[in-house]
Structure 1
Amino acid sequence: MPRQRIRTTTRGTTDMEVYRKAAEEHFKDGTKIRFLAKKYNVCHVTLYRYIKKIKAGNTSAVVGYRCVNRVFTDNEEKCLQDYLIECSGVYFGLTPSEVRKLAYELAIKNGKTFPEKWHDTQMAGKEWLTGFLKRHPILSLRCPQATSLSRASSFNEHNVSKFFDNLANVMDRYKFEPKDIWNMDETGVTTVQKPSKILAPKGIKQVGAITSAERGRLVTVAVAINAQGGHISPFFVFPLKRYQDHIIREGPVGCAGAGNASGWMQEAEFLLFLEHFKKQVKPTVDQKCLLLLDNHASHISIQALDFCKKNGIVLLSFPPHCTHKLQPLDRAVFGPFKKMINIATDNWMRNHPGRTMTIHYIPGIVREAFPLSVTDRNAIAGFTYTGISPFNRNIFTAVDYAPSSVTDRPLQVNSEIPANNLFTCLDSTSSIQVDSDTPLDNLPTLSDQTVHRTVINDLSNKSYHQRSNSPVPGPSGLQQANFSQPFDFTPKDLRPLPQAGPRTISNKGRKNRKTAILTDTPEKNAIQEEYQKRNKAKKMVLQPDNGNYKRKLISTKGKGKGKKTKKVAKGKENKSDDEDCFCLVCLECFSNSRPNEQWVQCTECKMWSHAECVNDDLNYVCHNCESE
Structure 2
Amino acid sequence: MPRQRIRKTERGTTNTAVYKKAADEHFQDKTKIRALAKKYNVCHVTLYRFIQKLKSGNTNVKVGYRCVNRVFTPEEENVLQDYIIECSKVYFGLIPTEVRKLAYELALKYKKKFPEKWNENHTAGKEWLAGFLKRHPILSLRSPQATSLSRASSFNEYNVNKFFDNLSEVMDRYKFEPRDIWNIDETGVTTVQRPNKIICQRGIKQVGAVTSAERGRLVTVAVAINAQGGHIPPFFVFPLKRYQDHMIREGPIGSAGAGNASGWMQEAEFLLFLEHFKKQAKPTTDQKCLLLLDNHVSHVSIHALDYCKINGIVLLSFPPHCTHKLQPLDRAVFGPFKKMINTATDNWMRNHPGQTMTIHYIPGIVREAFPLAVTDRNAIAGFTCTGISPFNRNIFSAVDFAPSSVTNRTLQSNNEIQPSAIEVDRMIEADHLPELGSSNKLNAHSIRSNNPELETLRSVSNIQTDDGNQFLNPASSHPSPSSPQPGPSGLQASFTRPINFSPQDIRPLPRAGIRSGTKRGYKKRKTAILTDTPEKRAIEEEYNQRNKAKKPIFQPTTGKGKRKLQSAKGKGHGKKTRNPPRSKGKENQTTANSNSSDDEDCFCIVCLELFSTSLPNEKWVQCVDCKKWSHAACTKDDSYYVCHNCESE
Match of 1:430 in 2: 431
Q: Distance in 2 between matches of 1:248 and 1:388?
A: 33
Of 459, 475, 496, which aligns to 2:471? 475
> Are 2:534 and 1:534 equivalent residues in the alignment?
no
Q: TM-score, normalised by structure 1?
A: 0.77
Residue identity over aligned pairs, in percent, reads 71
1:241-263 Cα deviation digits (max 9, x unpaired)? 11111111111101000011100
Do the aligned residues in 1 keep the contact of 2:250 with 2:367 (CA within 8 Å)?
Answer: yes
User: Is 2:299 the counterpart of 1:299?
Assistant: yes
Aligned counterpart, 1:623: none
Distance 1:268 1:207 in 2: 44
Q: Residue type matched to 2:399 in 1? A: V
The match for 1:493 is 505
Distance 1:567 1:343 in 2: 42
Q: For 1:397-433, what per-residue CA distance to the aligned partner results, in whole angstroms no more than 9, with x for missing partners? A: 1221111123343425547899996983555962559
Comparing 96-105 and 182-191, the one that deviates more: 96-105
Where does residue 609 of structure 2 map in the other structure? none
Q: After alignment, is 139-148 or 11-20 more displaced? A: 11-20
| Aligned 8 A contact 2:421 2:448 in 1 | no
Within 5 Å, give how 1:531-610 maps onto structure 2: 531-537=543-549, 556-560=552-556, 563-564=564-565, 568=586
Unaligned runs of 5+ in 2: 480-484, 486-495, 558-562, 567-583, 588-649
Aligned residue in 2 for 1:616: none
1:353-395 per-position Cα deviation (integer Å, ceiling 9, x unaligned) = 1111111111111111111111111111111111111111111
Q: Which residue of 2 aligns with 1:514?
A: 526
CA spacing shift, 1:127–1:74, aligned 2, 3 Å:
same
- For the aligned residue pairs, the C-alpha RMSD in angstroms reads 3.7
Alignment map for 1:350-369 (pairs within 5 Å): 350-369=350-369
1:189 and 2:197 matched: no
The SS at the match of 1:297 is coil
> How far apart in 2 are the matches of 1:277 and 1:396?
31
Q: Give, in angstroms, the shift of residue 204 of structure 1.
A: 2.3
CA contact (8 A) 1:37 1:44 kept: yes
The corresponding residue for 1:502 is 514
Q: Judge conservation of contact 2:478–2:499 (CA < 8 Å) in 1.
A: no
Deviation for aligned residue 1:6: 2.9
Deviation (angstroms), 1:568: 4.9
The alignment covers a number of residue pairs equal to 541
Q: 1:58 to 1:488 in 2, by over 3 A?
A: farther
Which deviates more from structure 2 when the two are superposed, residues 162-171 or residues 219-228? 162-171
Cα pair distance change 1:374/1:413, threshold 3 Å: closer
Distance 2:296 2:432 in 1: 39
What is the CA-CA distance between 1:274 and the residue it aligns to? Answer: 0.2
Deviation at 1:201, TM superposition (A): 1.8
Q: Residues of 1 paired with 2:460 and 2:80: CA distance?
A: 21
Q: 1:214 maps to which residue?
A: 214
Work out whether residues 328 and 382 of structure 1, in 8 Å CA contact, stay in contact via their aligned partners in 2: yes
Q: Aligned partners of 1:39, 1:371: CA distance in 2, in Å?
A: 65
Measured in 2, the distance between the counterparts of 1:61 and 1:532 equals 82
Measure how far apart 1:563 and its partner are.
2.2
Relative to structure 1, the CA distance from residue 19 to residue 320 in structure 2 (aligned partners, 3 Å threshold; closer, same or farther) is farther
CA deviation string 1:553-598 (max 9, x = no partner): xx943425762599959xxxxxxxxxxxxxxxxxxxxxxxxxxxxx
1:168 aligns to what? 168
CA change 1:268–1:360 in 2 (3 A) is same
Q: Distance in 1 between matches of 2:387 and 2:364?
A: 34
Tell me what 1:613 maps to.
none
Supply the distance in 2 between the matched residues of 1:501 and 1:338 (Cα, whole angstroms).
35
What corresponds to 1:317 in structure 2?
A: 317
Which is worse superposed, 400-409 or 524-533? 400-409
8 Å contact kept, 1:265–1:298:
yes
Deviation, structure 1 residue 76: 1.6
Contact 1:239/1:264, CA 8 A, preserved across alignment = yes
| 3-state secondary structure, aligned to 2:555 | coil
SS of the aligned residue for 1:185 comes to strand
Distance in 2 (alpha carbons) for counterparts of 1:394 and 1:503: 28
Distance 2:464 2:349 in 1: 64
**Partner letter of residue 127 of structure 2?**
E
CA distance in 1, matches of 2:51, 2:433: 52
Q: TM-score, normalised by structure 2?
A: 0.75
Q: Verify the 8 A CA contact 2:462 2:473 in the aligned structure 1.
A: no
Partner of 2:399: helix, strand, or coil?
A: helix
> What stretches of structure 1 of length at least 5 have no aligned partner?
434-439, 539-554, 570-628
Corresponding residue of 2:121: 121
Q: CA contact under 8 A between 2:473 and 2:508: conserved in structure 1?
A: no
Deviates more, 1:498-507 or 1:89-98: 498-507
CA contact 1:109–1:489 (8 Å) conserved in 2: no
Match of 1:606 in 2: none
Q: Deviations over 1:307-343 (max 9, x none)?
A: 0010000001111111111111001110111111111
Aligned pair in 2 of structure 1 residues 163, 417: CA closer, same or farther (>3 Å)?
farther
The superposition leaves residues 441-464 of structure 1 with CA deviations (integer Å, 9 ceiling, x where unpaired) of 9974589xx999998779xxxx56
2:82 matches 1:75: no
Cα deviations by residue, 1:162-207 (Å, 9 ceiling, x for unpaired): 1111111111111111100000000000011111111222332221
Residues 38 and 499 of structure 1: CA distance in aligned 2, closer, same or farther (over 3 Å): farther
- Taking the TM superposition and a 5 Å limit, the aligned residue runs for 1:122-161 are 122-161=122-161
Alpha-carbon distance in 2 for matches of 1:106, 1:25:
45
Q: Map 1:98-497 onto structure 2 (within 5 A).
A: 98-412=98-412, 414=414, 424=424, 427=427, 430-431=431-432, 444=441, 475-476=471-472, 478=474, 482=479, 484-486=496-498, 488-497=500-509
- 1:586 corresponds in structure 2 to none
1:146 Cα deviation from its structure 2 partner: 0.9
| CA 1:268–1:469: 2 relative to 1, 3 Å | closer
1:532-553 C-alpha deviation (Å, 9 max, x unpaired): 1122229xxxxxxxxxxxxxxx
**SS state at 2:236 partner:** strand
Name the CA shift for 1:406/1:41 in 2 (closer, same or farther; >3 Å).
Answer: farther
**1:329–1:559 distance in 2 versus 1, CA, 3 Å:** same
8 A Cα contact 1:408 1:476, kept in partner: no
Structure 1 residue 132, shift from structure 2 partner: 1.2
Shift in CA distance, 272/134, structure 1 to aligned 2, threshold 3 Å: same
Q: Distance in 2 between matches of 1:246 and 1:120?
A: 70
